[in-house]
C-alpha cells in the first residue's frame, strides 16, 4: 500500500482485521499520540498501549525515598528535573519533603549542577539521574566534567534504564503486544540492531518512529501491516541510523556499565540499567543498592498499566482520588505518563 497521509489515515480508520495491540515504549510517543489525537483516528480494532518508557513512571518508590533521605541530610542538596519532584515515594514526594526542610533544586540541564557545586563547596549536590539511553550520554558528560574540574561535591544517584532488556522481559512474560513503536530518541543514540534480535526472537514487528502526527500514523500502519512478522522498519531515517550515534555510545561505555535495574511494576530486570563504573565510584551516591518497589497507594495499578494488561480507566482511583494535582502513582505525574495523558486528553471517553 501507499504510505501517503490520506492512504494511511484511511487504512487505520477502516482496518477490519484481527484485533491488534500496539505498544509505544517511549514516553515522548505517549505524549505525541495524545497531542495529535491519534486514538480518535484508529479503527476500534487497533488498541494502543503505553509501555514502560516514561522515565519517571518506571522510577521505583524506594529510589524516591532515597532521594528524600539525601535531601534531608546535612550539607546535601538533591538536584533534579521538575517532573521527578512530584512522584510519590512510599510515604511522600520530594515536593512534600521540601515543606519540611528538604533541600531540592530543580534544573533544566544536569550540567547546571557543576556551577551549583563550584559556588557552594560545603554542600554535596546529588543529581537524580533518571532516564534512558537518550539522557545517559549527558550524565556521562557531567561525570567527566566533574572529574575535569576536580569537584568532589558532585554525585549522581542513578536510575538509568535501557530499553532492549525491558522489552525482552515484556515479550518473554507474554505481555499482550502485537508490535512495538520503537523509541525514536533512544534509537537516535543506540541505533536499532538490538531490536532486530528481539523482532526475530518473538516474531514481532518493530517500527522506529518519529514524533509528528504523520510519522506516528505511518509507524502504526507499518506495525499493523507487518503483524506477526519479526521485522524492524526504520520510519525515522531523518534522525536514526542502524548503528546510531557512536560517539555518544563510546561516552556512555566509558563511564557506565550494565547492571540489574529496579522497575516500577516490573521488578528487578537483569542488565536493564546502567551504573557508574568502579573508576567513577567517587561520583556515585549509592546507586547500586537496589530494592523493589514499595508503592504508597496499594490500589494503584501502574504496574499493570505499564505492561499493557490494564488500561488507566480500569484503575478505581483514576480521575477520582488520582489526578495530576494529586497523583497516587507515577503514571499520573508526568505529561508522558499513560494515566496523565488518558485523563487530560479525554481518551477515557
Nearer to ligand SF4, 274 or 300 (CB): 300
Nearer to ligand SF4, 195 or 318 (CB): 318
Q: x-or-dash pattern for ligand SF4, window 251-290, by CB under 6 A?
A: ----------------------------------------
Smallest distance from ligand SF4 to CB 64, Å: 14
Smallest distance from ligand SF4 to CB 322, Å: 3
Question: Considering the rule CB under 6 A, would residue 315 count as an interface residue with ligand SF4?
Answer: yes
Picking from 335, 339, 346, the residue whose alpha carbon sits closest to that of residue 28 is 335
List 11, 301, 306, 307, residue binding ligand SF4 (CB under 6 A): 301
List 86, 89, 318, 341, residue binding ligand SF4 (CB under 6 A): 318
Question: Considering the rule CB under 6 A, would residue 306 count as an interface residue with ligand SF4?
Answer: no
H or E element in which residue 125 lies = strand 124-131
Contacts of 89 (CB under 8 A, 6+ apart): 61, 62, 64, 65, 67, 68, 296
List 245, 300, 306, 336, residue binding ligand SF4 (CB under 6 A): 300
Instruction: Write out the three cell numbers for 179.
Output: 508490535
Nearer to ligand SF4, 287 or 307 (CB): 307
Q: Applying CB under 6 A, which part among 165-173, 229-237, 249-257, 325-333 lies near ligand SF4?
A: 325-333
List 131, 305, 308, 341, residue binding ligand SF4 (CB under 6 A): 305
Picking from 343, 341, 337, the residue whose alpha carbon sits closest to that of residue 58 is 337
Question: Considering the rule CB under 6 A, would residue 56 count as an interface residue with ligand SF4?
Answer: no
Question: Considering the rule CB under 6 A, would residue 302 count as an interface residue with ligand SF4?
Answer: yes
Smallest distance from ligand SF4 to CB 87, Å: 10
Chain residue at closest Cβ approach to ligand SF4: 329
Question: Considering the rule CB under 6 A, would residue 329 count as an interface residue with ligand SF4?
Answer: yes
Could you tell me the CA-to-CA distances from 60 to 20, 231, 297 in Å, in that order?
Answer: 30, 32, 13
Question: Considering the rule CB under 6 A, would residue 58 count as an interface residue with ligand SF4?
Answer: no
Tell me how far apart the alpha carbons of residues 138 and 189 are, in angstroms, rounded to a whole number.
11
Question: Considering the rule CB under 6 A, would residue 235 count as an interface residue with ligand SF4?
Answer: no
Signed CA dihedral, 55, 57, 63, 64: sign only: positive
Smallest distance from ligand SF4 to CB 324, Å: 10
Instruction: Write out the three cell numbers for 283.
Output: 561520583
Could you tell me the CA-to-CA distances from 55 to 15, 129, 175, 221, 344 in Å, in that order?
Answer: 32, 10, 20, 26, 19
**Adjacency order of strands within the sheet including 124-131:** 104-106, 76-80, 124-131, 154-161, 267-276, 256-263
Question: Considering the rule CB under 6 A, would residue 332 count as an interface residue with ligand SF4?
Answer: yes
Tell me how far apart the alpha carbons of residues 21 and 23 are, in angstroms, rounded to a whole number.
7
Contacts of 213 (CB under 8 A, 6+ apart): 32, 36, 38
Tell me how far apart the alpha carbons of residues 106 and 135 are, in angstroms, rounded to a whole number.
16
Question: Considering the rule CB under 6 A, would residue 331 count as an interface residue with ligand SF4?
Answer: yes
Tell me how far apart the alpha carbons of residues 101 and 18 are, in angstroms, rounded to a whole number.
56
Number of residues that bind ligand SF4 (CB under 6 A): 15
Question: Considering the rule CB under 6 A, would residue 322 count as an interface residue with ligand SF4?
Answer: yes
Question: Considering the rule CB under 6 A, would residue 224 count as an interface residue with ligand SF4?
Answer: no
Nearer to ligand SF4, 155 or 311 (CB): 311
Nearer to ligand SF4, 259 or 332 (CB): 332
Nearer to ligand SF4, 81 or 318 (CB): 318
Picking from 274, 328, 301, the residue whose alpha carbon sits closest to that of residue 90 is 328
Q: Applying CB under 6 A, which residues contact ligand SF4? A: 297, 300-302, 305, 312, 315, 317-318, 322, 328-329, 331-332, 339
Amino acid at each position: 500500500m501507499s504510505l501517503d497521509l490520506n492512504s494511511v489515515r484511511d487504512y487505520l480508520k477502516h482496518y477490519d482485521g484481527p484485533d491488534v495491540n500496539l505498544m509505544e515504549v517511549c514516553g515522548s510517543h505517549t505524549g505525541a499520540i495524545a497531542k495529535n489525537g491519534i486514538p480518535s483516528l484508529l479503527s476500534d480494532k487497533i488498541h494502543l498501549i503505553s509501555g514502560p518508557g516514561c522515565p519517571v513512571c518506571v522510577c521505583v518508590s524506594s529510589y524516591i525515598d532515597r532521594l528524600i533521605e539525601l535531601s534531608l541530610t546535612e550539607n546535601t542538596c538533591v538536584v533534579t528535573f521538575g517532573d521527578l519532584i512530584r512522584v510519590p515515594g512510599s510515604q511522600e514526594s520530594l515536593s512534600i519533603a521540601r515543606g519540611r526542610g528538604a533541600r531540592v533544586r530543580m534544573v533544566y540541564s544536569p550540567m547546571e549542577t557543576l556551577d551549583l557545586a563550584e559556588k557552594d563547596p560545603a554542600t554535596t549536590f546529588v543529581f537524580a539521574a533518571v532516564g534512558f539511553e537518550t539522557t545517559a550520554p549527558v550524565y556521562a558528560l557531567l561525570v567527566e566534567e566533574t572529574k575535569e574540574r576536580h569537584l568532589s561535591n558532585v554525585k549522581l544517584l542513578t536510575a538509568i534504564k535501557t530499553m532492549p532488556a525491558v522489552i525482552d522481559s515484556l515479550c518473554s512474560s507474554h505481555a499482550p503486544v502485537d508490535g512495538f513503536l520503537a523509541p525514536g530518541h533512544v534509537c537516535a543514540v543506540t541505533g536499532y540492531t538490538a531490536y532486530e534480535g528481539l523482532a526475530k526472537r518473538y516474531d514481532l514487528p518493530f517500527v522506529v518512529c518519529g514524533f509528528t502526527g504523520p510519522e506516528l500514523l505511518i509507524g502504526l500502519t507499518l506495525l499493523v501491516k507487518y503483524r506477526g512478522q519479526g521485522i524492524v522498519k526504520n520510519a525515522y531515517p531523518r534522525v536514526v541510523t542502524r548503528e546510531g550515534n557512536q560517539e555518544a555510545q563510546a561516552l556512555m561505555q566509558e563511564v557506565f556499565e550494565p547492571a540489574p535495574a529496579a522497575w516500577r511494576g516490573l521488578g528487578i530486570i537483569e542488565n536493564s540499567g546502567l551504573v557508574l563504573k568502579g573508576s567513577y565510584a567517587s561520583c556515585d551516591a549509592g546507586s547500586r543498592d537496589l530494592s523493589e518497589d514499595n508503592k504508597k497507594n496499594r490500589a494503584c495499578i501502574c504496574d499493570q498499566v505499564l505492561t499493557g494488561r490494564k488500561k488507566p480507566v480500569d484503575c478505581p482511583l483514576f480521575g477520582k482520588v488520582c489526578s495530576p494535582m494529586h497523583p497516587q502513582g507515577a503514571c499520573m505525574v508526568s505529561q508522558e505518563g499513560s494515566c496523565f495523558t488518558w485523563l487530560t486528553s479525554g481518551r477515557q471517553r
